Chain A
């Protein structure tokens, strides 16, 4: 079942007694979560992603717009009738109930025909517990569990009523780094096993890229771009998306296009056929630099960091407002750490141009790679 958001808007009254007007948390947001997919809703803090999640599960009512579960318009449906399972950021487990009672809680509230017998409830709870591997913790209380275990309980509680959609709000932010890596694989595995349509919210792009089938990038309540993670990474729609995705982040230069040539601080660095003459931001992914003795981009070398598989080169360039830029090279490339200067050629498919004012991507024709 697809989840479709149509022109979804949420405005809140401005905070403070004297403040007038409204703040728009989500601004005519439209996207579709395809059936059975794991979709990451990604954006910096305060971009409206949690509000979007709350509107999908029904805790917030949209100011305008519609939410469809399949063909059914659920915009006005109360949360308990939507069939959503939610895992809260702080897990929201009932502290006075045992793990088993926590998992049973959603089933006990079912009414009429949907209400299973005691036996069935136990079976379903056990099944959910087994799925997240907590079947030997059923008699404990949440306080006696680690963060990771608590989260498994929360996932089991969300899954036990067989929801149509699973929503996860910052599922990994309360876990330590090692557990985070393990848990995100776990979530991915559970999602694949159950095949349940899943949306999860995060501000960590690495997290979103690594497990999502699709990502949706938001900024200040507005949809920036959506697509498969690799596709969004390779083809960012604007400067924000380019900067937001990727570790280490993209290097941004102040540049100018003149006669089909990208110029950075007077150096003609890359032919960009088809791009109009104007002032631009030029973004180069760290892996977009190729060291070359006759390279067009000459930088002042600050330091060389050996990372084993890769070498990270930190250097400075006058067109770079951030001061330093970082290039990641395969360790076969030998860079003399004592050198004062280093020259690079740029890979056109790893270089993006954005309008200086609107920050929208400017396409240019990437020449077919010459066989090297």
Chain B
């Protein structure tokens, strides 16, 4: 075997030193807690923060629990409600912001604004807007809809707020993708008589598909992990709590309110598996539609 030169070893040493802060942070804050969570999911919580290994009891209990399945379904439903609509609207906004309209920098800033606002503040304001007694929506339309208390509506209401919060960020990402598309492609398509719709599907969409894929992965992950929005919008006294509770809200209640960290950890491991499977399928599926030719 060839001996590594001193220079290469030095380079590797410095490389490791440079990435050390990130690696250490990941180990201490993400990887070690995750390993602990896996261990805890196979353990029984005892008083004083102690654990005792007990095998798969937590999982057995979890898979037999109706509330857990309801939360899983809520989370999946939340993804279905938020991701396609959210991405479609973000793409629409990006295309509009990419066209030559007056004051588009201002519009860009406005659309990005929700990203800057604290999620808790966003949730508070929307909660007030959707309030069934004094909420602005009900009073403007003169109806009496329990946006946040009706078990059929509560998840949809949360999905609307989630979509609203993310449109700007996604649109700015997609806009960056759109701006990389050479203008001459559209000129050529114009000369070739392609309609605007055809241009969108045969130029814009394929050219922006790598960005679209990234946005999709990010959105699916964040929707599968949704917690703060639902936690803020739907409080414990809400009669529709069971119909809005996501896996992460369930985890929070089991872990920090009920104090059963072992059981809560099993929920976390389940969620991670769910995200992993969904992401793997996305990476398999992308070969069919994402275009990396530039």
Contacts and interface: CB of A to CB of B under 8 A. Distances in A.
A94 B185 CA distance: 7
A15 interface: no
Interface in A280-331: none
Interface stretch (B23-31, B49-57, B189-197): B189-197
A193 to B, nearest CB: 22
Contact of A95 (B191, B198, B294): B294
B179 interface: no
A143 B193 contact: no
What interface size band does chain B fall in? 20 to 34
A238 B100 CA distance: 42
B192 A88 contact: no
B64 interface: no
Interface residues of A, number: 27
Contact of B192 (A89, A90, A95, A109): A109
A79 interface: yes
Given A92-B184, A94-B202, A109 B194 contact: yes
B198 A109 contact: yes
Given A106-B192, A109-B194, A110-B193, A88 B184 contact: yes
Interface in A62-114: 79-81, 84-86, 88-90, 92, 94-97, 105-106, 109-111
Contacts of A180: none
Q: Is the interface of A mostly helix, strand, loop or mixed?
A: loop
A106 B189 CA distance: 8
A48 B272 CA distance: 60
Interface in B156-202: 182, 184-185, 187-195, 198, 202
A92 B193 contact: no
Contacts of B195: 109
A198 B188 CA distance: 17
Interface string A127-171: 000000000000001110000000000000100010000000000
A141 B293 contact: yes
Interface string A167-205: 000000000000000000000000000000000000000
B293 A80 contact: no
B291 A96 contact: yes
B287 to A, nearest CB: 13
B259 interface: no
A57 interface: yes
Contact of A142 (B187, B192, B198, B293): B293
Contacts of B216: none
Given A81-B193, A96-B207, A105-B202, 4 more contacts: A79-B191, A85-B191, A95-B291, A109-B198
22 contacts: A58-B191, A59-B187, A59-B191, A79-B191, A80-B191, A80-B194, A86-B191, A88-B187, A88-B188, A90-B182, A94-B188, A94-B202, A94-B203, A95-B207, A96-B206, A96-B291, A105-B189, A105-B202, A109-B194, A109-B195, A142-B293, A157-B192
Interface of A: 57-59, 79-81, 84-86, 88-90, 92, 94-97, 105-106, 109-111, 141-143, 157, 161
Interface of B: 182, 184-185, 187-195, 198, 202-203, 206-207, 291, 293-294
